[in-house]
A = this chain, B = another copy of it.
Amino acid sequence: MPLFLNNDDIAQLLTMKDTMEALEILYGEMGRGIAVTAPRSDVHSPTAAAESAEGPMAHYLKSMSGASPHFGTAALRFSSDIVAWRDSGGGMRREKLPMLPGNRWMGIVMLFSSANGELLAIMNDGVLQRFRVGGANGVATKHLARQGAETVGLIGSGWQAGTQVMAVCEARRIKKIKVFSPTKTNREKFAKETSERVGVEIVPVESYQEAVKGVDIIVTSTNSRTPFLGKWALAEGMHLSAMQRDEFDDEALLSCKPLVLHTHATENNVTSSALAHFERDNFKLRDHPTDRGIDWKSLPTLPELVLGKIEGRESDRQITGFVNNIGMGAQFAAVGKKVYDAAKAKGAGREVPLEWFTQDVHP
């Protein structure tokens, strides 16, 4: 019977170790052309909510899917949100509004068995999302950072930063982390809570310049649309672990050898919209409008690195880099299976009859 698993359940069940193990296996499958990840489909349509809004708004139905033969699973992730575009100074930014009762959002991962097609679980996607993003950076750090790396400079203290810390601590024996984020109370709270969680000293600092100074690994976890870390921040032997494209500038990224991208698999993502005139005339619907001087398509990817198809770090002196440009549906098939197995072992979640989802005909 399918299990409903909410974020609290998943936070109890999923470890960063399991996440990174699952992702490493998945990247191996992807590098060998065995796992499958499909382009994301984004449907934007008019929303009645827009009538009372100041700026442009839309209903946004997102879906992505993928499969991992090793785990014997496929996953479909979808979310249904009211989004608004707001001018954040550095360009229009899309915000998801908590329109559901209790100021909530909806994002779901459905996990299927590829042995018989059965629906195994219906999971909130919030915790999974944090872990799969952190985990991808963690796998890259494991393959690229110096073996003896023990200090980290972290920029950002938001929702994603916690799993980034868990991941870097899983990849290397980290002894000290400096963290900067613009709001003092946020970085102090984050440092205290996360330090207790991972058992590593975390020190809040006053600037991002201070955070990155003299560390072995720089970890970024921001939603910046303007690169703020340049070559000045780099030192011999460093590893750069970026959560998205617009944190390190071109010169800094091109100093890395190798510079590895998460994936090219979702470059064919499809945006379907009845709001095309909005996009053309008024604002960018896309997440990543920034033009950069880097030919992203030419970069090697994490699956190639994991499989040894490209050279990783060859000396303790070179600077390595990883950019987690975008996610893949297949990650949810792999990591979701870890959650599902743990839930079954511990009796977690709420069961609903599989029969509710099945039928005695097929169209």
Are B45 and A69 in contact, CB atoms less than 8 angstroms apart? yes
A82 to B116, CA, bound (A): 6
A118 to B42, CA, bound (A): 17
A99 to B119, CA, bound (A): 12
Q: Is A114 an interface residue (CB 8 A)?
A: yes
Q: Is A212 an interface residue (CB 8 A)?
A: no
Number of copies: 2
The answer, among B98, B116, B126, B270, for a CB contact under 8 Å with A38, is: B270
Are A48 and B98 in contact, CB atoms less than 8 angstroms apart? no
Binds B, one of A146-154, A190-198, A231-239, A349-357: A349-357
Q: How far is the CB of A355 from chain B (nearest CB, A)?
A: 7
Given contact pairs A59-B67, A107-B359, A362-B96, A119 touches B80 in the complex (Cβ within 8 A): yes
Q: Is A226 an interface residue (CB 8 A)?
A: no
Binds B, one of A28-36, A169-177, A280-288, A311-319: A28-36
Q: How far is the CB of A141 from chain B (nearest CB, A)?
A: 21
Given contact pairs A45-B36, A106-B358, A270 touches B270 in the complex (Cβ within 8 A): yes
A121 to B297, CA, bound (A): 40
For A352, what are the chain B residues with a Cβ–Cβ distance below 8 Å?
A: 352
Q: Which residues of A (249-285) have their CB < 8 Å from a CB of B?
A: 268, 270, 272-274, 276
Binary interface profile of A, 69-102, with partner B (CB < 8 Å = 1, else 0)?
A: 1001010101111100000000000001011111
Chain A interface size, under 10 / 10 to 19 / 20 to 34 / 35 or more:
35 or more
Are A102 and B360 in contact, CB atoms less than 8 angstroms apart? yes
Are B356 and A101 in contact, CB atoms less than 8 angstroms apart? no
The answer, among B33, B34, B101, B114, for a CB contact under 8 Å with A47, is: B114
Q: How far is the CB of A153 from chain B (nearest CB, A)?
A: 24
Are A67 and B38 in contact, CB atoms less than 8 angstroms apart? no
Closest to A95 in B: B362
Are A274 and B80 in contact, CB atoms less than 8 angstroms apart? no
For A213, what are the chain B residues with a Cβ–Cβ distance below 8 Å?
A: none
For A104, what are the chain B residues with a Cβ–Cβ distance below 8 Å?
A: 355, 358-360
Given contact pairs A59-B114, A350-B356, A126 touches B67 in the complex (Cβ within 8 A): no
Q: Is A12 an interface residue (CB 8 A)?
A: no
Are B76 and A61 in contact, CB atoms less than 8 angstroms apart? yes
Q: Is A56 an interface residue (CB 8 A)?
A: no
Q: Is A112 an interface residue (CB 8 A)?
A: yes
For A65, what are the chain B residues with a Cβ–Cβ distance below 8 Å?
A: 41, 43, 61, 63, 272
A-side residues, CB < 8 A to B, are 4, 6-7, 33-39, 41-49, 59, 61, 63, 65-69, 72, 74, 76, 78-82, 96, 98-108, 110, 112, 114-119, 122, 124-126, 129-130, 159, 268, 270, 272-274, 276, 329, 350, 352, 354-363
Beyond the given A45-B69, A45-B114, A106-B358, could you list 11 further A-B residue pairs with CB under 8 A, ordered by the A residue number? Answer: A7-B360, A33-B276, A38-B41, A45-B68, A48-B114, A48-B115, A49-B115, A61-B76, A107-B362, A129-B363, A270-B270
Identify 29 residue pairs between A and B in the complex whose beta-carbon atoms are under 8 Å apart, listed by A's number.
A4-B356, A6-B356, A33-B276, A36-B45, A36-B272, A47-B114, A48-B114, A59-B74, A59-B115, A63-B65, A63-B76, A66-B272, A78-B110, A79-B362, A81-B362, A96-B362, A99-B116, A99-B117, A101-B358, A103-B360, A104-B359, A105-B358, A106-B358, A107-B359, A124-B357, A124-B358, A124-B359, A126-B359, A270-B270
